[in-house]
């Protein structure tokens, strides 16, 4: 077992926690008028589409085991491979910055209104970058513990709020059902950046890549649909005009021992933001290592830290900028997660993987010694 790989279960939980950030950071107030059933149905349609989008990447991985799209592209054209690596790195860095903005906006508006933006952004970014330096396995192991806490906590909040639920609050779609469902399906798909992370991390998953894709999508679908159901059934239309609907649900839910559960929700925010930003930093570094000469690899994490923090601080109190970019352009997700693998499938339809290719392990390994014997790098 290679020391810099993760199991299928760890990959599922990593991608799931990262996806949950988009739900906790879901701000329907920025997206205009909505109906509950259109959101529920649109999410279902979106996840079905996401399953189809991952098929080309999985087929490509079966043709070229232990390689991802960047390595395969570099074998065909080094220049185009570098260009593609920069594109993936830029997209990942944009989402990393958006995650910092969303986390800072929640903390400074819902929890500590007078907290300085610079302190929140820089402290969170530094912690995540320091953890990212330990590679994919460290955050993969942490995700197992964090996911258990996350699921138990959300289940507890939902059970407490269940007594206030009313199915009459979930109203049927009354205006342009097809257009409304398509709108929310597009919004959900545009926020599914974990599809891109998955295809880049495929070689790092020891086995069960298909199970990882299916498990991640099913777990995310079940969680998102159930959370939206609880928000709508308890808060009704009121939940759709709140800046953070699930935080509002946790705030109104009470139990004699805890009184308010919003403090529990704060910890959930920290967990998903930490996992998401750390994972994206690891993937962004891997992409940039493909594009940059080796002597510059030591400056990649400082570069990611400086760019993401500067952009997040400048955007600051206007998270709708990132929200609008991420929610109105599903084409970028489709291109990076399905378009590129599909093009490579067509180009390499008569080829097979070479016997001694450079694998992604050498990119995501925290410290790799090229002179180290292969027997020392592999155990089990």
For 116-168, how does the pLDDT look when each residue is reduced to its tens digit (9 = 90+)? 888 889 999 999 999 999 889 889 888 888 888 888 888 877 777 777 777 77
Q: Is 380 helix (H, G, I), strand (E, B) or coil?
A: coil
Question: Rounded CA gap, 185 and 362, in Å?
Answer: 37
Say which residue the tokens 């559960």 belong to: 261
Single out the residue of 269, 224, 237 nearest to residue 250, CA to CA: 269
Q: DSSP characters for 13-46?
A: HHHHHHHHHHHHT--GGGS----HHHHHHHHHHH
Q: What are 358's two structure tokens?
A: 């450079």
Model confidence pLDDT, tens digit, residues 199-235: 999 999 988 889 999 999 999 998 888 888 888 888 7
Among the residue ranges 52-56, 181-185, 286-290, 336-340, the one predicted with the least confidence is 181-185
Which fold would CATH assign to domain 8-344? Answer: Amino acid/polyamine transporter I (1.20.1740)
pLDDT band at 66 (very low <50, low <70, confident <90, very high): confident
Beta bridge partners of 205: 6
CB 52 within 8 A of CB 193: no
Instruction: Tell whether the model's pLDDT for residue 15 goes beyond 80.
Output: yes
Give the residue from 194, 364, 157, 190 showing the smallest Cα distance to 275. Answer: 194
Q: What is the DSSP letter of 295?
A: G
Is the whole model's pTM more than 0.95, yes or no? no
Spans of all domains in the chain = 8-344
CA 245 from centroid of its chain's CA atoms? 20
Q: What is the largest CA-CA distance in the chain?
A: 67
Question: Per-residue pLDDT tens for 67-121?
Answer: 999 999 998 889 999 999 999 999 999 999 988 988 888 888 767 777 788 888 9
């Amino acid at each position: 077992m290679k020391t810099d790989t993760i199991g299928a279960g760890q990959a599922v939980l990593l991608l799931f926690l990262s996806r949950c950030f988009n739900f906790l950071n879901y701000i329907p107030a920025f997206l205009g008028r909505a109906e509950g059933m259109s959101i529920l149905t649109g999410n279902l349609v979106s996840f079905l589409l996401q399953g189809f989008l991952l098929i080309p990447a999985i087929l490509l991985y079966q043709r070229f085991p232990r390689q991802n799209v960047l390595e395969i592209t570099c074998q065909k054209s080094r220049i185009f491979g570098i260009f593609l690596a920069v594109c993936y790195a830029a997209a990942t860095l944009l989402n990393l910055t958006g995650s910092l903005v969303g986390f800072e906006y929640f903390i400074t508006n819902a929890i500590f209104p007078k907290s300085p933006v610079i302190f929140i952004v820089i402290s969170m970014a530094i912690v995540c970058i320091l953890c990212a330096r330990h590679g994919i396995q460290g955050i993969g192991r942490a995700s197992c513990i964090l996911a258990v806490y996350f699921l138990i906590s959300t289940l507890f909040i939902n059970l407490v709020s269940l007594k206030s639920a009313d199915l009459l609050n979930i109203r049927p779609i009354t205006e342009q059902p097809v257009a409304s469902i398509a709108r929310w399906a597009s919004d959900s798909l545009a926020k599914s950046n974990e599809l891109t992370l998955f295809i880049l991390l495929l070689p790092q998953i020891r086995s069960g890549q298909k199970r990882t894709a299916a498990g991640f999508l099913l777990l995310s679908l079940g969680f998102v649909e159930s959370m939206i159901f609880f928000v709508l059934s308890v808060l009704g239309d009121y939940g759709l005009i709140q800046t953070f609907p699930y935080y509002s649900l946790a705030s109104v839910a009470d139990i004699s021992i805890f009184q308010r559960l919003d403090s529990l929700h704060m910890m959930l925010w920290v967990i998903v933001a930490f996992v998401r930003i750390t994972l994206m930093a690891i993937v962004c570094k891997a992409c940039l290592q493909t594009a940059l000469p080796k002597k510059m690899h030591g400056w990649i994490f400082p570069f990611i830290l400086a760019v993401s923090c500067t952009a997040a601080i400048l955007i600051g109190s206007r998270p709708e900028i990132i929200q609008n970019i991420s929610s109105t352009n599903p084409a970028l997700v489709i291109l990076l997660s399905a378009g590129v693998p599909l093009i490579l499938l067509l180009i390499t339809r008569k080829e097979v993987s070479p016997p001694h290719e450079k694998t992604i392990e050498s990119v995501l390994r925290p410290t790799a010694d090229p002179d180290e014997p292969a027997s020392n790098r592999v155990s089990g």
